Structure 1
């Protein structure tokens, strides 16, 4: 597996990986807002402060993670692995690459937010050394509330 830093020209690849990975949440209430994103919105984000890593196996994209650098560390989101490759350690490799990136940038922490209903992701991050440090309810414009946990790993 090869993990590369993305550029704005990779927006379509990032969007495709994200759509495939997040499709499993289309029947959640509410569905993940990741499914509302477009290639253009991803490209726009990458043109601003957002960064991303893409995992390739045999030159085929199989996973990605988007993130931003903050003063206190890296905040990642939209970690995506295509369904047929899930459970093979790709997400863990992406997270390890993110840690390498943070260490090179001398950033002390990596954090993320996870829906409380997605226990497999909470378990994955916990297995990588992340700990829950906050819980909150995100209020969506349509009146729907989503319970999320904030997780952080100190490097």
Structure 2
């Protein structure tokens, strides 16, 4: 079951993100998700800046992602499936759910940013119809520079 997250699930979502991004702690530029405080997610949710979804399988939370809409684009980030839950199609299921949600909201473009060096993640998005639309260097919340690509998928009404 995939559903919009509520305030009571923020702690669960944050835990899933930490577990999923832990493997990026030892990259040359570690992921800022590792040190992202719970309050950042909570404040963003409470202020209406972001929503999130949680995927449950057999009652266990195994996936999370957050998103917001800006104009005609739904931007998502922090797609999180901990290592022990991978290989079950959870990320693809959450992204499919997000596409359905976007269409219901009248939004037909989804967008995310992915580190250029994370080939597995790039392949996942490409396999479900995302294309690279831009390459850039960004400064993450740890104040470190990272090469990323912007990926987009256009949906049919």
The question of a shared fold, defined as TM-score above 0.5 by the shorter chain, is answered with yes
TM superposition outliers: structure 1 runs of 4+ over 6 Å: none
The gaps in structure 1 that reach 5 residues or longer are none
Matches within 5 A, 1:2-41: 2-41=1-40
- SS of the aligned residue for 1:17 comes to helix
> Are 2:113 and 1:113 aligned?
yes
Deviations 1:119-145 (A, max 9, x none): 111000000100000000113587742
Aligned CA distance change for structure 1 residues 140 and 12 (closer, same or farther; 3 Å)? closer
- What is the SS of the residue equivalent to 1:106? coil
Q: Residue 117 of structure 1: SS of its match in structure 2? A: coil
Distance 1:141 1:92, change over 3 A: closer
Following superposition of structure 1 onto structure 2, how do residues 79-98 of structure 1 map, counting pairs within 5 Å?
79-98=79-98
Gaps of 5+ in 2: none
CA-based RMSD: 1.3
Deviations 1:67-98 (A, max 9, x none): 00110221000000011111210000000000
Equivalent position of 2:124 in the other structure: 124
The answer to whether the 8 A contact 1:111-1:153 is kept is: yes
Q: Distance in 2 between matches of 1:127 and 1:88?
A: 15
Q: Tell me the distance in 2 between the aligned counterparts of 1:113 and 1:23.
A: 18
Q: Which has the higher mean CA deviation after the structures are superposed, 89-98 or 39-48?
A: 39-48
* TM-score of the aligned structures, taking structure 1 as reference length: 0.95
- TM-score (structure 2 length as normaliser): 0.94
